[in-house]
Amino acid sequence: GSQLFESSSCTYTYVLADGASGDAVIIDPVLETVPRDLQLLRELRLNLRYAVNTHCHADHVTGSGALVRALGGRSVISRASGARADMLLSDGDEIKFGDF
């Protein structure tokens, strides 16, 4: 996994990947750093399965939509957030990628 930082919004973005399958999840991507994140995912030859937001960002636009449009996969957020995504999760739900 990798921890990445975007300074203007003070947001940490995380990339988790299954080494065997190449399946990956990106957590809390920021719109301003989509080019960086795309480059990382492509360089590592990862298959984006999910772009997950842990919360609804009131202060900036997430990069989930742009990453999903570029690489495929599905956008994910909590149902309780009131935000829109391809998948809405409730407490206890799991997402699977590779062997994780």
Distance of alpha carbon 23 from alpha carbon 29, whole angstroms? 17
Question: Beta strand 11-17 with 23-27: parallel, antiparallel or unpaired?
Answer: antiparallel
More reliable by pLDDT, 72 or 55? 72
The arrangement of strands across the sheet holding 11-17 comes to: 2-6, 11-17, 23-27, 47-52, 74-78, 87-89
Which helix (H) or strand (E) covers residue 49, if one does?
strand 47-52
Angle between helices 64-71 and 34-43 (to 10 degrees): 40
- The predicted-structure confidence for 12-51, as pLDDT tens digits, reads as follows 899 999 999 999 999 999 988 999 999 999 999 999 999 9
Could you say which of 3.60.15.10, 1.10.1060.10, 3.30.365.10, 3.20.20.60 is the CATH number of the domain covering 2-89?
A: 3.60.15.10
**pTM of this prediction?**
0.88
Structure confidence at residue 11 as a pLDDT band (50, 70, 90): confident
Q: Write down the domain spans for the chain.
A: 2-89
